[in-house]
Amino acid sequence: MKTLHINDLDIGQDESCRAYSYFLTGQALKQSCESRLDVIECLRVGYPYYVIVFILESTTISRKDLSNILHISTRQLSRYDKDDLLPAELSGPIYEFSRIYARGVDILGDRATFEGWLNRPQLALGGQVPLHLLDTTEGIRLVNDLLSQIEFGFYS
């Protein structure tokens, strides 16, 4: 009889690592990411600037909305070069945005549906647009909690 060990199970990529690398699709990671501790180190080193470019090109998020989430002016955001590493102060909010984005796409089924939801006022958020709440920690929690409610069928 063969014994099954938890380490033998293929349970996929850690959720934190998946969120970290969500917008790094097709790009070689300079650091490996296999655990939450790896994510912390990667965020301390900083996201490469091309993640900003990729977010702006592959989503409907505007430069203005992204700069609001990052608490940086659009002008200052444009000063980075393609190969620059972003400071940890910007990498953290990008990571939180990618966590919400990846989770929302999983729950609502596709990018277009999630982005539509993200840009519409939500009754459960007091009529606020979820995207406009992502500039604060508490706003991120509220949006994440609402996604959990949708996931488990408590809100539609």
Banded model confidence at residue 8, pLDDT cuts 50, 70, 90:
low
Say which residue the tokens 């934190």 belong to.
Answer: 16
Helix (H, G, I), strand (E, B) or coil at 134: coil
- Give a yes or no: residue 136 inside a domain: yes
pLDDT on residue 15: 86
- Give a yes or no: residue 106 inside a domain: yes
- Give a yes or no: residue 3 inside a domain: no
This prediction has a pTM of 0.86
pLDDT tens-place string over residues 81-133: 988 999 999 999 999 999 999 999 999 999 999 999 999 999 999 999 999 99
Helix (H, G, I), strand (E, B) or coil at 34: coil
Percent of the chain at pLDDT above 70?
86
Residue 29, domain extent = 13-151
- Give a yes or no: residue 1 inside a domain: no
Q: Is 114 exposed, middle or buried (0-12, 13-18, 19+ CB in 10 A)?
A: buried
Packed helices 88-108 and 36-45: angle between N→C axes, nearest 10 degrees: 130
pLDDT tens-place string over residues 57-85: 999 999 999 999 999 999 999 999 988 99
CB atoms within 10 A of CB 148: 13
